[in-house]
Amino acid sequence: MSEDLWTPHALSNAELSIPELSIPALSDSDGVVAGSVTLIIPTFNEAGNIGELLSRLADSLPAHLPCEVLFVDDSTDDTPAVIEKAALDLPFPVSVLHRESASGGLGGAVVEGLKRADTDWIVVMDADLQHPPHLVPELVGEGERTGADLVVASRYIPGGSRAGLAGSYRIAVSRGATWLTKGLFPRALRGISDPMSGFFAMRRAVVTADALKPLGYKILLELAVRCRPAKVAEVPFVFQDRYSGESKSSAREGMRFLAHLAALRSATPLARMIGFGLIGLSGFVPNLFALWLLTHAGMHYLPAEIAANQAGVLWNFVLIETLLFRDRRRHRHWADRIGRFVVLANADLLLRIPLIALFVGRFGMEVLSATALALVTTFVLRFAATEALVYLPRKTRSRTRTARPTRS
Give whichever of 197 and 386 is closer to ligand GDD, judged by the CB atom.
197
* Residue 247 found at the interface with ligand GDD (CB under 6 A): yes
Q: Does 73 bind ligand GDD (CB under 6 A)?
A: yes
Q: Rounded distance, CA 131 to CA 118, Å? A: 23
Based on the shown chain and the rule CB under 5 A, indicate whether residue 130 belongs to the binding site for Mn ion: yes
Asked if 222 interacts with ligand GDD (CB under 6 A), we say no
Binding partner selected for residue 196 from ligand GDD, Mn ion, none, CB under the kind-specific 5 to 8 Å limit = ligand GDD
Is residue 249 within the footprint of ligand GDD (CB under 6 A)?
yes
The DSSP secondary-structure symbol of 112 reads H
**CA distances for 55 relative to 92, 239, 381, angstroms:** 11, 19, 61
Helix, strand, coil abundance in the chain, percent, nearest 5: 55, 10, 35
Q: What's the rounded Cα separation, in Å, for the pair 221 and 207?
A: 13
Stretch that binds ligand GDD, among 68-76, 90-98, 185-193, 326-334 (CB under 6 A): 68-76
Closer Cβ to ligand GDD, 44 or 185, answer by number: 44
Rounded to a whole number of angstroms, the minimum distance from the CB of residue 164 to Mn ion is 8
**Using CB under 6 A, which of 8, 105, 160, 229 touches ligand GDD?**
105
Instruction: Give least dist CB 35 to ligand GDD, A.
Output: 25
- Of 73, 118, 120, 128, the one binding Mn ion by CB under 5 A: 128
Scanning 99-107, 130-138, 226-234, 334-342 for contacts with Mn ion by CB under 5 A, the matching segment is 130-138
Task: Using CB positions, name the residue nearest to ligand GDD.
Answer: 198
CB of 167 to ligand GDD, least distance (A): 12
Least distance CB 134 / ligand GDD (angstroms): 17
Least distance from C-beta 120 to ligand GDD, angstroms? Answer: 23
Question: What one-character DSSP code corresponds to residue 180?
Answer: H
3-state secondary structure of 201: strand
Q: Tell me the C-alpha distance between 377 and 41, whole Å.
A: 50
CB-nearer residue toward Mn ion: 257 or 276 = 257
Residues 121-150 that bind ligand GDD (CB under 6 A): 126-128, 130
CB of 247 to Mn ion, least distance (A): 5
Distances from the Cα of 111 to the Cα of 40, 108, 190, 224, 408, angstroms: 9, 5, 23, 13, 37
Between residue 151 and residue 210, which ones bind ligand GDD under the rule CB under 6 A? 165, 174, 196, 198
Angle between helices 251-265 and 167-184 (to 10 degrees): 10
| Amino acid type, 98 | H
Nearest to 264 by CA among 221, 303, 232: 221
- Asked if 217 is part of the footprint of ligand GDD (rule: CB under 6 A), the reply reads yes
Residue 216 binds: one of ligand GDD, Mn ion, none (C-beta under 5 to 8 A by kind)? none
Q: Which listed range, 121-129, 178-186, 224-232, 328-336, lies at the site for Mn ion (CB under 5 A)?
A: 121-129
Give the Å distances, CA to CA, from 305 to 194, 278, 342, 391. Answer: 48, 21, 15, 28
Going across the sheet that includes 37-43, the strands are 10-11, 94-98, 67-73, 37-43, 121-124, 200-203, 150-154, 232-236
Residue with smaller CB distance to Mn ion, 115 or 242: 242
Q: What is the DSSP string of 64-77?
A: TS-EEEEEEE--SS
Residue type, 312: G
**Nearest approach, Cβ of residue 163 and Mn ion (Å):** 13
Helix (H/G/I), strand (E/B), else coil: 89: coil
Strand partners, 68: 38
CB under 8 Å to 394, separation ≥6 — which residues? 331
Q: Which stretch binds ligand GDD (CB under 6 A): 98-106, 143-151, 279-287, 295-303?
A: 98-106
The residue ranges that bind Mn ion (CB under 5 A) are: 126, 128, 130
- Residue numbers at the binding site for ligand GDD (CB under 6 A): 42-44, 46, 72-74, 102, 105-106, 109, 126-128, 130, 165, 174, 196, 198, 217, 247-249
